[in-house]
């Protein structure tokens, strides 16, 4: 099948690399008009050029930047159908070692930004009257307690439930706007390559972990991006307020502390 998101204007935050890059590539391949929003300008511009997308510098942590960005989308494209709130950062630290600065930084990029993005996208989505979809990137750390990335776990838990609250809000208003969260685990990206060893070391030192931590093969960005395409398309019209876990059994496995 092709053209699964044809005619849809799609924004992907953090779309310059990693999972966001895969989302941008597949949405463009499936006929979407894609806008990559990131702070990694060189990578983002190069990708946009390659796939025929637009690139806009957006630091997702400030509401003012979101207001300008959504105004730009409205002015340039006249509508917005799909918002993938994908940007995120992780800093390894547990509940006792996490500093105030680390807490605020991690929560700003995942939790605050997802709120700002939904708040300012929803009115523009509503205006078109077309079917729209907001896809918020949470994590398996938003499903089970992952002690090694405490601030990240808090942020991703917030993303999970703010997605459901926004989904119900839109449904009760009669909007054609669906909101879902995706919960990846163990996908190889620049993020997991950067902090993977630190987290693996912390896991190995934890005496509670007697079983192998990851009993499954690592995933690829497209394993997540195909779910993004499904949720972005009208194929998923009855999927709303849902949490899509994509971790190849990690959270399903008994006795595992991810």
Ligand X SMILES: NC(=O)c1ccc[n+]([C@@H]2O[C@H](COP(=O)([O-])OP(=O)(O)OC[C@H]3O[C@@H](n4cnc5c(N)ncnc54)[C@H](O)[C@@H]3O)[C@@H](O)[C@H]2O)c1
Catalytic residues: 152
Q: How far is the CB of 192 from ligand X (least distance, A)?
A: 4
Tell me the backbone φ, ψ of residue 41, rounded to 5 degrees. -65, -45
Please tell me whether residue 147 adopts helix, strand or coil conformation.
coil
- Both tokens of 43, joined, read 């990578």
Work out whether 89 is an interface residue with ligand X (CB under 6 A).
Answer: yes
Of the candidates 99, 75, 100, 177, the one whose C-alpha atom is nearest the C-alpha of residue 135 is 177
Work out whether 13 is an interface residue with ligand X (CB under 6 A).
Answer: yes
Residues 126-185 that bind ligand X (CB under 6 A): 137, 139, 184-185
Helix residue ranges, H only, the chain: 18-29, 41-51, 63-77, 100-107, 113-128, 150-173, 190-205, 221-232
Contacting residue, 40, 48, 93, 146, with ligand X by CB under 6 A: 40
Contacting residue, 11, 70, 87, 179, with ligand X by CB under 6 A: 87
CA angle 139, 14, 252 (to 5 degrees): 15
Q: How far is the CB of 166 from ligand X (least distance, A)?
A: 17
Please list, in sequence order, all residues whose beta carbon lies within 8 angstroms of the beta carbon of residue 174, skipping any fewer than 6 positions away.
none
Q: Mark 197-236 with x for binding to ligand X (rule: CB under 6 A) and - for no binding.
A: ----------------------------------------
If the CB atoms of residues 44 and 175 are measured against ligand X, the closer one turns out to be: 44
What whole-number distance in Å separates Cα of residue 117 and Cα of residue 142?
19
Of the candidates 160, 71, 84, 168, the one whose C-alpha atom is nearest the C-alpha of residue 123 is 71
Contacting residue, 18, 32, 117, 157, with ligand X by CB under 6 A: 18
Work out whether 83 is an interface residue with ligand X (CB under 6 A).
Answer: no
What whole-number distance in Å separates Cα of residue 74 and Cα of residue 91?
34
Please tell me whether residue 223 adopts helix, strand or coil conformation.
helix
Selected range binding ligand X among 12-20, 74-82, 226-234, 235-243, rule: CB under 6 A: 12-20
Work out whether 117 is an interface residue with ligand X (CB under 6 A).
Answer: no
Work out whether 112 is an interface residue with ligand X (CB under 6 A).
Answer: no
Selected range binding ligand X among 83-91, 120-128, 168-176, 226-234, rule: CB under 6 A: 83-91
Work out whether 111 is an interface residue with ligand X (CB under 6 A).
Answer: no
If the CB atoms of residues 16 and 118 are measured against ligand X, the closer one turns out to be: 16
Q: How far is the CB of 141 from ligand X (least distance, A)?
A: 7
Distance of CA 110 to the CA centre of its chain: 8
Question: Residue numbers of the site for ligand X (CB under 6 A)?
Answer: 13-14, 16-20, 38-40, 58-61, 86-90, 109-110, 137, 139, 184-187, 189-192
């Amino acid at each position: 099948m092709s053209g699964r998101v044809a005619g849809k204007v799609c924004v992907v935050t953090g779309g310059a690399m990693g999972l966001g890059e895969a989302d941008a590539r597949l949405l463009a391949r499936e006929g979407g008009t894609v806008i990559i929003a990131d702070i990694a300008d060189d990578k983002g511009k190069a990708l946009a050029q390659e796939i025929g997308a637009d690139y806009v510098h957006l630091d997702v942590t400030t509401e003012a930047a979101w207001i300008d960005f959504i105004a730009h989308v409205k002015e340039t494209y006249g509508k917005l159908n799909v918002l993938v709130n994908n940007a995120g950062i992780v800093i390894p630290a547990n509940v006792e070692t996490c500093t105030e600065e680390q807490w605020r930084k991690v929560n700003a990029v995942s939790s605050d930004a997802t709120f700002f993005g939904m708040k300012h996208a929803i009115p523009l989505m509503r205006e078109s009257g077309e079917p729209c979809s907001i896809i918020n990137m949470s994590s398996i750390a938003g499903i089970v307690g992952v002690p090694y990335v405490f601030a990240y776990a808090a942020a991703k838990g917030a993303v999970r439930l703010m997605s459901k609250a926004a989904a119900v809000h839109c449904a009760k208003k009669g909007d054609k706007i669906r909101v879902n969260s995706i919960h990846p685990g163990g996908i190889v990206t620049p993020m997991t390559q950067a902090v993977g060893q630190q987290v693996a070391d912390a896991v190995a030192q934890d005496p509670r972990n007697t079983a192998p931590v990851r009993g499954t093969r690592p995933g690829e960005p497209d394993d997540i991006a195909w779910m993004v395409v499904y949720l972005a398309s009208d194929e998923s019209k009855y999927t709303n307020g849902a949490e899509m876990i994509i971790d190849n059994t990690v959270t399903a496995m008994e006795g595992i502390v991810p």
